[in-house]
Every structure is written in structure tokens, then in C-alpha cells.
């Protein structure tokens, strides 16, 4: 049985752990929103049409999620003294944000194709390089999510999977950043490009450095692993918290998308970008 002092210590530490978890979730939300904030608040270009802008915002919000995910998978979030609760929360955030990324990506592509079928020209090999980079990033994202879900079922060894997962994630982040910066419409200012590259390089580079340097090779939490009913209940709570956080983020981004997509009466009307790979694109 636990001693009275141990129980008291756990109880007294619970509020601090909750506050730290809330702070970390806020940090996650702000970090993932940097590309969206740069797009919406820093000298935005003239609006094209409500639904066009809405699906564009979905793509940029997805870029923020993609830029963040390498940081959530890095083991420095599970540092000495952290709890199984914190480890479970990070794991669940990474998982459900990955699902949200696929949803945002599907909305971005399907929405634009529905509005303008000629957008399909951007999916062909004759498309400009930034468009092909976006296609490549989308393919890698789907491969990463499917491989992560089915890794155990297909018998892929964890160490090998982790190396390939990190490598392909870094490539996907780079291709997606090239897609946004190379399109040069919503990210047409140096400040916007710098903000975009900063969030991509910081998370991906930090995760890579942590793994390559060996700092995270044995960075497991300094507590005995939880087992039995307590562990299952803890993971269920972590999954519920992860789903709530991701749902809240999607609602906030959806609200921001609607505000951004509303027509600006003070701005001049912009011509819609040419939805083809052969004509000059705006």
C-alpha cells in the first residue's frame, strides 16, 4: 500500500500537473496556428470567393498541424519525472492531430476540385513544381498515417518504422512548405515565408537533433509503468482529452476560416488564380 505521504504528494502534485498540461496544450495550439495567423493577419491578399478561401484555409491549417507533429513525437516531451498521464496525452494528441491533418487535407483538395474541376491539372506531372510538391506531401502524409495505424499488423519492427517515419515526416514537411511558399499567393511576403519556415524547421530540426544526438535514446519517464485497470482508465482519459483538444482546435480554425473567407468590402476584387498547370497562375 502507498504511504500517507506518497498519497498526499500525488494529490498535491495533481493541480500542478494539470496546469502544466494545460500550458502545454496551449503551446501546441499556438504553434500549430502560426501559418494560419501569418496568412490571415499579415497583409492578406484580396479574397477570391468565400468557399475558395475556406478550402485554402483548411490547407494552411493542415500545414500548421504537419509542422507541429514532429515535436509531439519527440521523446523530450517524456522527460525524467514526467508521468504516464503526460506520455499518454502526448501520444493521443499526436494520433488525433494526424487524423485531423488527413481531414483538413481531404477538405482542401476535394473542396477545390468541387469548386473548379480544372484544379485536377495541378495533380498531373505537367503541373508546376510547387503543385507537385503539394501532391508529394499529401501522398507521404497518407502513407505515414496508414503505416502508423497498421505497423503492428504488418509486422514492421518499431526501430525500423521509427527511422522511416522520421525521415518521411521531414520530407513531407519540406514539400508542404515548398507548396505554400512556391505558390506565392497567400505566402507572398518575406515575413510570412520566414514564419512558415520557422515553425517547420524548429519542430522537425529539434526532433531530428534529439534523436541523432542520442539524447532521447533512453529518455523514458522515471516512474514504474502503470498496469492493469489504472493504466487502461488512464489511457481512456488521455484519448478523451486528446479528442477534445483536437475538436476544439478544429472549431477554432473553422471559425477563423469563416472570418477570413468573408468578403472584404474595402479590398479590391481579385481574379481567381488560374486553375491549370499550363497557364500563368496568380
pLDDT for position 277: 45
Give me the count of residues in the chain: 282
Rounded distance, CA 114 to CA 105, Å?
14
- Residue 102: is its pLDDT beyond 50? yes
**For residue 256, which phi and psi values (nearest 5 degrees)?**
-65, -35
Ranked by mean pLDDT, the top range of 54-58, 232-236, 238-242 is 54-58
Q: 118: which 3 cell numbers?
A: 480544372
Rounded distance, CA 183 to CA 274, Å?
12
The label of the residue with cell 493521443 reads 92
Kindly report, residue by residue over 126-162, the tens digit of the pLDDT. Answer: 999 999 999 999 999 999 999 999 998 888 888 888 8
pTM of the model: 0.80
pLDDT for position 83: 56
Kindly report, residue by residue over 33-46, the tens digit of the pLDDT. Answer: 999 999 888 888 88
CATH topology of domain 20-261: 1.20.120
pLDDT for position 229: 64
pLDDT band at 106 (very low <50, low <70, confident <90, very high): very high
Kindly report, residue by residue over 177-213, the tens digit of the pLDDT. Answer: 999 999 988 998 999 999 999 999 988 888 777 766 6
Amino acid at each position: 500500500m502507498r504511504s500517507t505521504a506518497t498519497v498526499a504528494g500525488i494529490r498535491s502534485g495533481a493541480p500542478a500537473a494539470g496546469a502544466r498540461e494545460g500550458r502545454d496544450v496551449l503551446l501546441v495550439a499556438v504553434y500549430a496556428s502560426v501559418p494560419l495567423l501569418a496568412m490571415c493577419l499579415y497583409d492578406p491578399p484580396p479574397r477570391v470567393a468565400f468557399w475558395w478561401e475556406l478550402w485554402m484555409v483548411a490547407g494552411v491549417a493542415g500545414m500548421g498541424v504537419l509542422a507541429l507533429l514532429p515535436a509531439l513525437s519527440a521523446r523530450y516531451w517524456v522527460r525524467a519525472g514526467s508521468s504516464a498521464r503526460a506520455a499518454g496525452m502526448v501520444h493521443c494528441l499526436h494520433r488525433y492531430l494526424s487524423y485531423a491533418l488527413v481531414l483538413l487535407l481531404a477538405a482542401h483538395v476535394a473542396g477545390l476540385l468541387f469548386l473548379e474541376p480544372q484544379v485536377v491539372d495541378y495533380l498531373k506531372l505537367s503541373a508546376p513544381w510547387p503543385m507537385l510538391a503539394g501532391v508529394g506531401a499529401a501522398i507521404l502524409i497518407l502513407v505515414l498515417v496508414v503505416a502508423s495505424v497498421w505497423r503492428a499488423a504488418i509486422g514492421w519492427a518499431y526501430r525500423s518504422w521509427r527511422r522511416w517515419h522520421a525521415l518521411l515526416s521531414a520530407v513531407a514537411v519540406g514539400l508542404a512548405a515548398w507548396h505554400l511558399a512556391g505558390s506565392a499567393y497567400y505566402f507572398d511576403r518575406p515575413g510570412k515565408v520566414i514564419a512558415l519556415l520557422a515553425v517547420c524547421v524548429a519542430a522537425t530540426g529539434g526532433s531530428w537533433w534529439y534523436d541523432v544526438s542520442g539524447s532521447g535514446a533512453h529518455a523514458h519517464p522515471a516512474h514504474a509503468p502503470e498496469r492493469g485497470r489504472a493504466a487502461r482508465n488512464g489511457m481512456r482519459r488521455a484519448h478523451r482529452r486528446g479528442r477534445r483538444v483536437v475538436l476544439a482546435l478544429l472549431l477554432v480554425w473553422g471559425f477563423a476560416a469563416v472570418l477570413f473567407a468573408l468578403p472584404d468590402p474595402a479590398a479590391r476584387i481579385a481574379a481567381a488564380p488560374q486553375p491549370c498547370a499550363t497557364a500563368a497562375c496568380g
